[in-house]
Amino acid sequence: MTWWTGLVAGAVLVSAACARPGPPPEPPPPDTPFSWQLPRGLPHPTVPADNPMTTVKVALGRRLFYDTRFSGNGTFACASCHQQAHAFTDGRARAIGSTAQVHSRSAMSLTNVAYNASFGWADPGVRTLEAQIAVPMFNEHPIELGIAGHEAEIVQRFASPADEPWFRAAFPADPRPVSLANIVRAIAAFERTLVSADSPFDRYLYRDDRTAISDDAVRGMKLFFSERVGCSGCHAGFKLSGPVTFTSAPAPVLRFTNTGLYDLDGKGAYPPDDHGLMDKTRSAADMGRFRAPTLRNIALTGPYMHDGSVPSLDGVIAHYAAGGKGPLKSPELKHFTLSPSETGDLVAFLESLTDPVFVSNPAFADPRRPK
């Protein structure tokens, strides 16, 4: 066989292989009511009446959460900034969008996000997951998902034989089920399932397993909840966070705190690219105020603070022990002293909030990832 006939033969074989039909598209699961499997200690999340939970909608949302077609340039997904191994953050100090623009803030964890009373670091107007998803979709300063101007194109990407059955199953009453609104609803439904409550601390607190956390962590827990250190003043309740909401809960009162991270001018100024709540309210009193995030899985979500400016848990503790900076810091911040061993105890407690099941649960992983 000459080199030419060999090349032709190889081309024929490749052509024949390419012509073979691939596997049929994966069908959606049956459309059945979603059953919450909530661990002890967690209440029932609030679900909007216009976006009820179903198994097929959650499954569709999981697919869409990991799908890069849900971005203007087709390179970025929700999961690009919210990675399971990092408790659905990205391990960066500041988030980077689909066009490589750097955000002024770090990506927040989606741990137990269904219970948030508000969303984002400092936006009192965003009160549902559906509204939150619209922020990275259309934000242009900086661009995140970069959807603005590409809406029709993105919808068309999902109007395919492989995708349409999923949308029809998830939204059977909608005559046009493939839409941006339904993409958002499905992703929100999936994100509501991201429940974490199987950390050593949970086993210690809710299941009476007194061996679940170390003696160091027990001492750290007592420090965390003590008046002397006062961490639980801002990080309270089952989420160890600011205000939460759930079914039958009273209307939450939102809270934003100035942690004294900056004082650039002696008057409490924060960097010009992010003034916190003040950028929304335009009130000088709100300079540097941010929402207290959950501390669940905190050991996996560094670097820390709204802008990732503190690299370690030890550094965060040192900042709060020093009492923060500036005249605008919230009155809850007070100087306290810890010995090196007490700092180690407090870090041990924070590490006991890591839920290994949550960050390895296949139900939360990319469904297209090889098993």
Three-state SS sequence of 101-135:
CECCCCCCCCCCHHHECCCCCCCCCCCCHHHHHHH
Query: Percentage of the chain with pLDDT > 90?
Result: 88
Structure tokens at 249: 């809960």
Residue ranges with strand state E in 115-246: none
Query: Percentage of the chain with pLDDT > 70?
Result: 93
State residue 10's pLDDT score. Answer: 38
27-31, 207-211, 269-273: lowest mean pLDDT where?
27-31
Q: How many helices (H) and strands (E) does the chain have?
A: 12, 2
Residue 31: name the closest of 181, 184, 177, 196 by CA: 177
Average pLDDT over residues 12-29: 54
pLDDT at 7 over 90: no
Structure tokens at 347: 């870090």
Average pLDDT over residues 160-164: 96
Q: Domain segments of the chain: what residues? A: 32-196, 200-351
pLDDT at 29 over 90: no
Partner residues linked to 102 by β-bridges: 96
State residue 24's pLDDT score. Answer: 65
Give dist(CA 171, CA 176) in Å, integer.
Answer: 9
Residue 213: name the closest of 349, 22, 355 by CA: 349
User: Residue 12: which pLDDT band, with cuts at 50, 70 and 90?
Assistant: very low
Structure tokens at 10: 């190889």
Alpha-carbon dihedral angle through residues 369, 87, 47, 201, given to the nearest 10 degrees: 130
Pick the CATH number of 200-351 from 3.40.250.10, 1.10.10.10, 1.10.760.10, 2.40.50.140: 1.10.760.10
Contacts 24+ apart (CB under 8 A), 315-320: 317/343, 317/346, 317/347, 318/343, 319/259, 319/260, 319/261, 320/231, 320/259
Q: Higher pLDDT residue, 31 or 335?
A: 335
State residue 39's pLDDT score. Answer: 87
State residue 369's pLDDT score. Answer: 80
pLDDT at 6 over 60: no
Query: Do residues 89 and 301 make contact, with C-beta atoms less than 8 angstroms apart?
Result: yes
Give dist(CA 48, CA 133) in Å, integer.
Answer: 15
Q: Higher pLDDT residue, 12 or 192?
A: 192
State residue 31's pLDDT score. Answer: 82
State residue 112's pLDDT score. Answer: 98
User: Residue 221: which pLDDT band, with cuts at 50, 70 and 90?
Assistant: very high
State residue 203's pLDDT score. Answer: 95
Residue 110: name the closest of 126, 132, 134, 141 by CA: 132
Give dist(CA 167, CA 163) in Å, integer.
Answer: 7
**Is 61 in a helix, a strand, or coil?**
helix
Average pLDDT over residues 140-161: 96
Average pLDDT over residues 330-358: 97
pTM strictly above 0.85: yes
Residue 313: name the closest of 322, 302, 329, 325 by CA: 302
**Identical fold between 32-196 and 200-351:** yes
The CATH homologous superfamily of the domain defined by 32-196: Cytochrome c-like domain (1.10.760.10)
